[in-house]
Each structure stands twice: as structure tokens, then as C-alpha cells.
Structure 1
């Protein structure tokens, strides 16, 4: 039985990943207004939310290699310190390019934090306990998202700079990590021989997980990147109301994440992906047809149901087919897929937003996700004997 304090510390550290973007999402329109004098201010403002993702994607594989070779905790402590410094640096930024620089360094810190925290969960917990804790982590991250988005929206009413002070929370977690976390025993992380067929099957599944997670995050990240502008355009809502709307999707995400272990008792990984993309796609189609603030919130609530399944499912499937001695590297690769999808999201969606009606993007995303849902149902039926795993 793991210490309650250990669990709380892991959950709190995991919530830092959502804080990296959620905190400043409601203030994006205000940031753009402040720096409207700069060339390409609209794109640069949106990139300030997603540029950490690019650096996470670049540095997460390196983080995975480092923690497999030198242990988990040293990198975690360094990453928490760097997170606090680079996150709060945005408060002092005089222009968008300085802001992008500090956000880039924040991405390097998140790469270390996320890769290490997920790997530690896989090290500390096994089987059904791991499934339950991954679901709990997904819910905790979602709840953290609600807190950070709402806090960011309220602070943005004071100043666009104020939300960056929330990143000071990282400094509080360093002593908790020092006291309550421990380095997994090295002898448990030694290479284990696997058959050639098992290795090929494992690599094939890992590739599928990476691709699916990349696409899922790319399409999901329309919410924090584009929704604030869409709500402002369609309804004229305040920053605080915009934060509340985005938080609604994380609320439904938290609820369904808490029930992930129940899904795993009855459904395969592929079926859960199908549920995930069905709900997210349906949510976007509701937003496409929305004519009021409340209807947009309804679409976000439905979409959140899908996102509550995506990351627990990806994490559990990836670590369940990973040899223990390469777990850090595989989790690092998954982290890259997550945040590369986030970074690419505005690059793909901004042209659609620019050249078509503002709600067209939600129709495009919705139908794409429904097609992905159907694809995973087909995948399940073709691979029923191999994809249903109980861990």
C-alpha cells in the first residue's frame, strides 16, 4: 500500500502539465490586444500557448533516456525548479518574442516533469492498482485544469500578466518530492528477454498509440487555442466566463477519468479510443451548430467526456506493452506525441479559421473524429484476440 502523501505528491506534480497551458488560455485575447502592434501578433499569441509543446516534444525523448540511465528523481527535482522559474518569467515579458522564449524553456521543464511522473506511476503501481491510479491522475489533471483555467480567467481580469504568478506553485512541490518520493530499486528495472514476435507486436502497438495520441491531442487542442476567440466573437463573454466555459470540458473529463478503470474491465483499448473520439467529435459538432454561450458550453461538456479517456488509455496501453528497462524512453516518446499534437494544432487549424467561416473548423474536426472512432471499432473487431488485455 503506497503512502497517501506519495500519491498526493505524484498527482500534484502531474497537474503541472495542464497548468503549463491552461493558466494563460483565458487571457490570450487580452495578450493579443496588448501586443497588437507586433507583426503576426494573432499567430504569435496563440503560439505562446503551444510553443511549450514543441520543446516538450523535442526534449521528452531525451528525458526518457536520462531517467532510464540515471534514475528518476534527479531530473524531476531539476525540472520542477526550472518550471517555476520559466513559468513566472512570463510575468516580466516586455514583448511577444521574450514571452515565447520563456515559454520555450517552460516546455523543456514540462518534458522532464511529465516523463518522470508517468514513469514513476508505472514503477510504483502494478495491474489494477495502476489502472485505477492512472484514471485518478487523469481526473486530478482535469480538476487541476478547472482550477487553473478559472484562476487564470479571474486573474486576467486584473492584468494579463497576473496568471503567470500561478506557476510559483512548482516551488512548493520540490520539498514534497524530496520527502515523499523514492527512487525505484534499480534491480527491478533490468532488461528482460522477449521473443522476436512479442517485440514486433509491442512496437506496432506503441506506434499506433503514438499516432493516435498525436492526432487526438492536435484536434482536442482546438479548445484552449481557438475557443477563447470563438466565444468572444460569438457571445462577447468576459475572460472569466471564457475560463468557465473551457473549465466545463475539464469537469466532464475529470468525471469520466475517475471511471476509467470501469471502462477497462469491459472494453478493449481500441474500444475506449472509439468512445473517446466519438464524444469529442460529437462535442465539436454541437459547437458547430451552437447559437448561444450555453450551447457552446454543452458542446465542451460532451467533448470533455472524450478527453477524459484519451490520456489514461494511452498511458496504460503504452506502459503495459513496455519492457521495464525502456519504460522511460517509451513514456518520453508518448509525451512527444502529446505535445507535438498540441504544437501543430494552431498551425493546422489557423488557416481553416482564416479562410472559412469561424465555425467551419468545428465541423471539420467533428467529422474527422467520428471517422477515427469508426476506425477503432473496426480495429477492435479485427484484432479482438490480441487487443483486449487485462493489466
Structure 2
């Protein structure tokens, strides 16, 4: 019964992990509202949560060794609620108010993205852990789908109204307070000698590199889809919201099936997911139509929902259970760095080549395919050394 309550708490936290992505559908509206503001500064409304997510995803690992994970989770949730409410009430006064709110959202995103996975690693083992990580990914995407759709519809009234969805933090805080135990999880092993000698290894760092590059290239979709839709006369903020909803819907279905996929594909899960994401980006670059955007979004959703649990599971199982939270924090932080770097790199490439927004999707397609190949070769080499 206690495990069931812990699952409810973990999945409720997970349903809010992509809430900062609601800004992706309104970036074009924010840019139109704040006339004369640098587009790179506007993009930071979406990317600053990734930067703060980096700091707090990494910090939450060591902190969880000293403080109850429940306290850390509640702190993150309260920060997310505060950020959303300030943006709703005062976001229209200045772009810097929105950026400050993004900082608070980043604290929530970084803290709880690590904690949700760490709680799974603490309380669940072996196949049960892998299956729950997939289900967690499904809730991340399912929650994202509902939140993005709702915020997109509210943005049809005004872009500020899209922040009303952040009220959903309130019931989640209540669920966590009621269902998540405050005490530390029991250790899976009593081998204290092994625990003292536990340290991060090459597979953790290689997984972190893979997740960093994944963040760099996949996030091109999120930072550019709204502007691509408006710039090509394909729709407005509501259309962008629907496209993002399609991405989340594909991710939700993928997360539900992740356990079976992992059993079938085994160590090919990460390379296959990256190749599918690259295919979606290539389709957008080549066709640039509304249907291609929806199909590309679903490919990206598949990639996101597959590689996140697969990478986390790989890192957590590569080290001693006593430092699995730290391994998860390193991988999560690496993804956040990649997300933050993404618009800087893609905008730089677009400026250097003199191409439009379409060239960014080509960059992402080539990049994801290359990272998929790198992942396959790198893990094969490490498997051979370990054997």
C-alpha cells in the first residue's frame, strides 16, 4: 500500500515536469508584445528554466544525502507555483519579470526532475524500476499534453492567461504532502564497504555527454516551432499549442510502452530514439508543412519519452545504489545544459550560414543522427571492455 502511495506522489510530480514548456507556444506573442526586445532575450523565457534546472538538478543529488527528499520536492513545487503566479499577475510589466519567473520555474524543474527519478531508484528495483521510469515518462508527457493544450487555448485570450495553468501546482503539493514518506528510503544493499568505495564511472559520464547533446539538438524544436508556425503563415499560438500537444501525446504513449520497448531493444533504445527524433526534424526541414510539423512533433515526443528514462536507468544502474541519486543528478544536469545551449548554437549556425529558421531543423536532424551513432559505438566499446 505504501509503495502505491509513493507511486501516486512520484507520478503527480512528474506530470508537472514539462510545465515550463508552456512558454514555447507563446514566444511569438511575447516577442510581439515586448517590441524592440532582442529575440535571444525572448528565447530565454524558455531556456532559463533549463539553466536553473542544471544548477538545482546537480545540487539536489548531494542535498538528498542530507535532507529528506520530500522536503526538497515540496520546496521545488512551491517555487514553481510562485513563478507561475508572478508571471500571471506581473509578467506583462517587463520582460525581466518574466525572466525572474523563469528562474523560479527552473528551480522546480531541476529539483523535481532529479528527485522523481531518484525516488524511483530508492524505492523500486530491477524491472519494476525500469517500467516505472517509463510510466514516469508517460506522465511527464501526458501532463505536458494537458498543460500545453490548456495554456495554448488560454493564450488565445491573451498570452498572460496561459500562466493560469500553474495553479495545478496546488493539488500536487497536497498529494505529495499526504503520500510521500519523509524518512529516507531503505538501502537496497547492506554492503557498507562497497558503499564507501562507490564513485561515478565512465558509463555515467558518457551517458551525461549523450544527454547533453540530445538536449542541444532536440530542443531546437521547442524553441523554434512557434516562430516557424507564425513565420510561415501556418497558424497562431493555438496552432503551436496543438503541435506541442501532439508531441506530448506521442511521448505519453511511448512512456506507457517503454518497459516492453526496453526488453525488446535492450541497449539499442537510446540510438533508436535519437534516430527517430532526427527523422522528425529532417521531415520538418524538407516539407515545412503543417502535417510535417505534427509528424515531426510526434517523432520528437517519441525521442524525448524514450531517451529520458533510458538514460536515467542506464546511469542509475551503472553505480552503487548509495550514489544513484548523484548519477541521476549528473545526467539530468547535463540535459539541462544542452537545453540552455541549444538556442545559442542553433541561432549561431543560422546566422553563419545566412539561412532561415529551417536550417536549424536540418542542424538538429544531422546532430541527433550523429549522437545516435556515437551512443551505439560508445556503449559497444564500454561493454566490450567490461566483458
Q: Tell me how far apart the structure 2 counterparts of residues 65 and 154 of structure 1 sit (CA, whole Å).
A: 40
1:261-276 equivalences under 5 Å are 261-269=259-267, 271-276=268-273
Deviations 1:264-299 (A, max 9, x none): 223333x11110111011111100111421122122
Q: Tell me how far apart the structure 1 counterparts of residues 162 and 249 of structure 2 sit (CA, whole Å).
A: 20
Number of positions where the alignment pairs a residue of Structure 1 with one of Structure 2: 382
Q: Tell me how far apart the structure 1 counterparts of residues 381 and 334 of structure 2 sit (CA, whole Å).
A: 25
Q: Which residue number corresponds to residue 85 of structure 1? A: 82
Q: Is the 8 A contact 1:191 1:325 kept in 2?
A: no
1:67-216 equivalences under 5 Å are 67-91=64-88, 92-93=90-91, 94-185=93-184, 188=187, 192-194=192-194, 203-216=201-214
Tell me if 1:331 matches 2:328.
Answer: yes
1:315 is displaced (CA, Å) by 1.3
RMSD of equivalent CA atoms: 2.3
Q: Is the 8 A contact 2:17 2:113 kept in 1?
A: yes
1:194 is displaced (CA, Å) by 3.5
Q: TM-score, normalised by structure 2?
A: 0.92
Q: Are the structure 2 counterparts of residues 378 and 188 from structure 1 closer, same or farther at C-alpha, using a change threshold of 3 Å?
A: closer
Tell me if 1:288 matches 2:285.
Answer: yes
Larger mean Cα displacement after TM superposition, 100-109 or 260-269: 260-269
Q: Which residue number corresponds to residue 300 of structure 1? A: 297
Q: Tell me how far apart the structure 2 counterparts of residues 8 and 209 of structure 1 sit (CA, whole Å).
A: 28
| Structure 2 segments unaligned to the other structure (5+ residues) | none
Q: Which residue number corresponds to residue 314 of structure 1? A: 311
Q: Which residue number corresponds to residue 366 of structure 1? A: 365
Q: Tell me how far apart the structure 2 counterparts of residues 60 and 233 of structure 1 sit (CA, whole Å).
A: 35
1:199 is displaced (CA, Å) by 5.7
Q: Is the 8 A contact 1:235 1:292 kept in 2?
A: no
Q: Which residue number corresponds to residue 43 of structure 2? A: 46
Q: Is the 8 A contact 2:229 2:236 kept in 1?
A: no
Q: Is the 8 A contact 2:122 2:185 kept in 1?
A: no
1:184 is displaced (CA, Å) by 4.9
Q: TM-score, normalised by structure 1?
A: 0.91
Which of 40, 57, 60 is the matching residue for 1:60? Answer: 57
Q: Are the structure 2 counterparts of residues 83 and 380 from structure 1 closer, same or farther at C-alpha, using a change threshold of 3 Å?
A: closer
Q: Which residue number corresponds to residue 347 of structure 2? A: 350
Q: Is the 8 A contact 1:124 1:184 kept in 2?
A: no
Q: Tell me how far apart the structure 2 counterparts of residues 145 and 292 of structure 1 sit (CA, whole Å).
A: 24
